[in-house]
């Protein structure tokens, strides 16, 4: 029960003990002088169970008879929980309408002053009764399921202390947000009882407890109340006063900090004082909810990250011990804050949050799951158990998942090169069934990973047929670069966009693609060039426009966003050593050779017409060229012996260009234990019995 008591919200208008009586119930004229009247009143109440009189509790409390105290204490819980709002006949009068109130016809007391005339006369049992009464009022308040019920209940009370008014405001706001409303209906905001609650909190904030004060401010934030209103300004002034006195505890500071950000932004001077006091608090005083609030406060002040980084480092370390107590929502909030604050050095915390996120995958909301996935993508984190939980969740819920979450799942798989067939198959089925739900951006994020990870789902025919129909219907809504990347992804898995090649090779599309820039970016040019090569090598029936030479690149291997994966240096050195031992000299093969077809070969070996190895410097009498692909882990899907799409199309094109493609994958080389075994392995690869090559 709150320790402080505030002003009454309303004033009784000179009521005696009974303001309305039931039939057969005798009128009590003077309660203090007639003990038998109380007994008669008690007997009548035993027969009228649904009859309760506002104000009667206050009058009974001050009666000195012990047996009356016991009767009231025994009967009070039953009466309060059997209340029916429509039976209340005595409504309170708002404090701004009445300046004075009277109790039992005694002296009037100013409504602006606490009514304490009888409190000092109460003995200990009577004080306990009052505490029990308030506790029951709060429990009743939290049993309602709509703002209207709360207002109806408040309207039946004779007096509403400021603390109860604060609790009622908070409950109304809480119920409004629980129902999915961003703000309360106009009817609630204009309700006279609701306005009276606001007035009560505005008039007398000094009588609020610390908890009630900050919770009221938090409620007003959720209600989108004007930050310059007198109610908010009064509460802010009181908060600042207590803040300067250092009387706010850690939990209150966290609530206040978030409210200040919403009302006044990160530049608020009071917020700096809140953060300063938070830094001086003992970390053991923070609950998991407080830790989440601190992250959100700091997240709102990224421009001040440098001056708060030491405090943030402390919170990052302390949070490791709190992860097991965090809810799914809290885990999502912290990961989001770590991304916003660029805490790439806090990987231990990210990893531990990821471990606990595994168990919460089915419990995350769509938005929370999306934020978790975005954080994992940002930090480059992946977890096998998290992926397994995600597979089960997506397979079961894909058709009901938000399209934004579905595309985020695919982006997570794409970034970490996770070829999860359960996820890809479920997503493909979802797109075929409800393609109209996906925006162009979401479609691009959803289809791209199929090409990148070189995977065709069981319903590939239906998937790409649906994609083609969507593109025909909504082509103008796809930004040029997004459309180019999408069509390029399709070509990686031999789903060539022949019906759209004439559009993307046209001068009109190229001008749109270039936009206001002076020239096209390197990645777009490389994608256009590879699509053009595809039209020549794999789509001989295509007779549309060609890509002009000025839009073609010379090499697909670029420092960033390359269409080829650079060779693994460690594997390359190992294979080169084995080739020297096998061929007898470095002279007989070339390394990192750029071909006239834009592809770079890891190793190239030239053969004459009889299959003998020629020195690499010779260009005459070359009958066959061997392209040795030293494929490291980065050229495969994660934890799978499955080539990525860009490596598959490279080997496919090299084969069509006449090269003899020899693949040397890392998982074969890892099995070799000696240099002699490596030489024997390369000999089998290059000079097998079916191969015409000799040395």
Tens digit of each residue's pLDDT (9 = 90 or more) over 68-102: 344 333 433 333 333 333 333 333 333 333 333 33
Reply yes or no on whether the pLDDT at 214 is more than 70: yes
| Sign of the four-CA dihedral 163, 164, 165, 166 | positive
Q: Among 195-199, 462-466, 629-633, which stretch is predicted with the lowest mean pLDDT?
A: 195-199
Q: Among 225-229, 488-492, 628-632, which stretch is predicted with the lowest mean pLDDT?
A: 225-229
Reply yes or no on whether the pLDDT at 45 is more than 60: no
User: CA 217, CA 225: separation in Å to the nearest integer?
Assistant: 10
Reply yes or no on whether the pLDDT at 599 is more than 60: yes
Q: What is the pLDDT of residue 243?
A: 85
Parallel, antiparallel or unpaired: strands 10-11 and 93-94: antiparallel
% of the chain with per-residue pLDDT over 90? 52
Reply yes or no on whether the pLDDT at 401 is more than 70: yes
Contact 258, 218 (CB under 8 A): yes
Reply yes or no on whether the pLDDT at 598 is more than 90: yes
Reply yes or no on whether the pLDDT at 553 is more than 50: yes
User: CA 575, CA 630: separation in Å to the nearest integer?
Assistant: 8
Identify the three-state secondary structure at position 673.
coil
Maximum average pLDDT range among 173-177, 237-241, 688-692: 237-241
- Average the pLDDT over 429-455 and give the result: 96
Tens digit of each residue's pLDDT (9 = 90 or more) over 174-210: 776 665 555 667 777 767 787 787 777 777 777 778 8
pLDDT averaged over every residue in the chain: 79
Long-range CB contacts for residues 261-265, cutoff 8 Å, separation at least 24: 261/296, 261/297, 261/300, 262/221, 263/217, 263/221, 263/227, 263/232, 263/236, 264/227, 265/300
Q: What is the pLDDT of residue 21?
A: 40
Contact 591, 565 (CB under 8 A): no
User: CA 509, CA 502: separation in Å to the nearest integer?
Assistant: 10
Q: What is the pLDDT of residue 643?
A: 97
Within 8 A by CB and 6+ apart from 145, the residues are 175
Which single residue is written with the structure tokens 């990686």? 492
> Higher confidence at residue 62 or residue 144?
144
Contact 326, 334 (CB under 8 A): yes
Q: What is the pLDDT of residue 36?
A: 39
Burial of 489 (0-12, 13-18, 19+ CB in 10 A): buried
User: CA 277, CA 197: separation in Å to the nearest integer?
Assistant: 31
CATH topology of domain 569-686: Endonuclease; Chain A (3.40.960)
Angle between helix axes 162-178 and 192-203 (nearest 10 degrees) is 130
Reply yes or no on whether the pLDDT at 20 is more than 60: no
Where exactly are the structural domains of the chain? 1-182, 569-686
Reply yes or no on whether the pLDDT at 487 is more than 80: yes
Residue 655 to residues 526, 625, 652, Cα–Cα distance (Å): 20, 10, 5
Identify the three-state secondary structure at position 267.
coil
Q: What is the pLDDT of residue 193?
A: 81
Reply yes or no on whether the pLDDT at 112 is more than 50: no
- Written as one string, the DSSP assignment of 305-356 is HHHHHHHHHHHHHHHTTTGGG--HHHHHHHHHHHHHTT-TT-HHHHHHHHHH
Reply yes or no on whether the pLDDT at 649 is more than 60: yes
> Higher confidence at residue 267 or residue 392?
392
% of the chain with per-residue pLDDT over 70? 78
- Written as one string, the DSSP assignment of 208-251 is S-HHHHHHHHHHHHHTT--TTSHHHHHHHHHHHHHHHHT---HH
Within 13 A of 661's CA, how many CA atoms are on the CB side? 19
Tens digit of each residue's pLDDT (9 = 90 or more) over 150-159: 788 888 777 7
Confidence band (pLDDT; 50, 70, 90) for 692?
A: low
User: CA 606, CA 604: separation in Å to the nearest integer?
Assistant: 7
Q: Among 225-234, 335-344, 474-483, which stretch is predicted with the lowest mean pLDDT?
A: 225-234
Structure-block tokens of residue 168: 């009622």
């Amino acid at each position: 029960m709150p320790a402080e008591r505030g002003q009454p919200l309303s004033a009784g208008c000179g009521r005696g003990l009974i303001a309305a009586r039931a039939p057969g119930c005798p009128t009590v004229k003077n309660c203090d002088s007639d003990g038998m009247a109380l007994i008669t009143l008690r007997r009548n109440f035993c027969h009228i169970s649904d009859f309760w009189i506002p104000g009667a509790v206050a009058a009974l409390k001050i009666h000195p008879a012990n047996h009356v105290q016991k009767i009231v204490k025994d009967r009070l819980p039953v009466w309060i929980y059997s209340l029916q709002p429509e039976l209340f006949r005595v409504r309170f009068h708002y404090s701004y309408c009445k300046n004075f109130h009277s109790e039992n016809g005694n002296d009037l007391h100013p409504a602006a002053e606490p009514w304490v005339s009888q409190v000092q006369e109460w003995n200990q049992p009577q004080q306990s009764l009052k505490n029990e009464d308030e506790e029951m009022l709060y429990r009743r308040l939290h049993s309602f399921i709509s703002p209207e019920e709360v207002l109806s209940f408040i309207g039946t009370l004779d007096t509403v202390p400021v603390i109860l008014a604060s609790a009622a405001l908070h409950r109304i706001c809480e119920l409004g947000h629980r129902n999915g409303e961003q703000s309360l209906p106009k009817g609630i905001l204009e309700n006279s009882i609701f306005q009276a609650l606001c007035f009560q909190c505005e008039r007398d904030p000094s009588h609020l407890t610390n908890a009630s004060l900050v919770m009221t401010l938090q409620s007003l934030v959720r209600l989108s109340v004007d930050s310059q209103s007198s109610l908010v300004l009064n509460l802010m002034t009181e908060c600042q006063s207590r803040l300067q006195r250092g009387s706010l505890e850690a939990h209150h500071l966290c609530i206040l900090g978030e409210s200040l950000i919403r009302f006044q932004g990160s530049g608020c001077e009071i917020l700096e004082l809140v953060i300063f006091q938070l830094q001086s608090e003992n970390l053991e005083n923070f609950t998991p909810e407080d830790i989440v609030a601190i992250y959100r406060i700091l997240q709102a002040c990224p421009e001040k990250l440098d001056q708060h980084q030491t405090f943030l480092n402390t919170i990052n370390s302390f949070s490791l011990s709190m992860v097991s107590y965090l809810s799914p929502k809290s885990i999502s909030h912290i990961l989001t804050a770590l991304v916003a604050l660029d805490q790439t050095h806090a990987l231990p915390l990210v990893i531990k949050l990821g471990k606990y996120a595994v168990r919460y995958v089915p419990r995350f909301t769509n938005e929370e799951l999306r934020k978790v996935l975005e954080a994992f993508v940002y930090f480059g984190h992946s977890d096998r158990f998290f992926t397994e939980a995600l597979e089960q969740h997506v397979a079961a819920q894909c058709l009901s998942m938000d399209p934004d979450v579905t595309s985020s799942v695919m982006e997570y798989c794409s970034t970490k090169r996770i070829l999860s067939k359960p996820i890809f198959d479920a997503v493909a089925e979802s797109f075929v069934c409800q393609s109209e739900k996906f925006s162009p951006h979401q479609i691009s994020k959803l289809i791209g990973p199929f090409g990148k990870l070189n995977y065709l789902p069981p319903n590939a025919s239906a998937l790409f047929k649906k994609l083609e129909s969507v593109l025909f219907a909504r082509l103008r809504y796809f930004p040029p670069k997004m459309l180019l990347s999408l069509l390029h992804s399709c070509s990686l898995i031999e789903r060539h966009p022949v019906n759209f090649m004439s559009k993307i090779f046209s001068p009109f599309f190229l001008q749109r693609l270039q936009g206001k820039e002076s020239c096209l970016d390197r990645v777009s040019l490389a994608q256009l060039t590879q699509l053009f090569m595809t039209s020549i090598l794999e789509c001989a029936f295509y007779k549309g426009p060609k890509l002009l030479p000025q839009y073609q690149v010379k090499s697909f291997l670029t420092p960033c966003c390359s269409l080829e994966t650079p060779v693994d240096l460690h594997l390359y050195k190992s294979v080169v050593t084995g080739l020297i031992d096998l061929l007898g000299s470095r002279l007989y093969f070339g390394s990192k050779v750029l071909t006239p077809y834009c592809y770079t070969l890891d190793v190239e070996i030239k053969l004459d017409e009889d299959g003998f190895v020629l020195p690499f410097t010779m260009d005459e009498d070359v009958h066959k060229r061997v392209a040795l692909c030293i494929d490291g882990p980065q050229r495969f899907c994660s934890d799978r012996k499955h080539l990525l799409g860009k490596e598959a199309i490279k080997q496919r094109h090299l084969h069509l260009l006449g090269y003899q493609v020899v693949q040397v994958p890392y998982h074969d080389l890892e099995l070799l234990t000696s240099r002699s075994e490596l030489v024997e392995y390369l000999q089998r690869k290059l000079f097998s019995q079916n191969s015409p090559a000799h040395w």
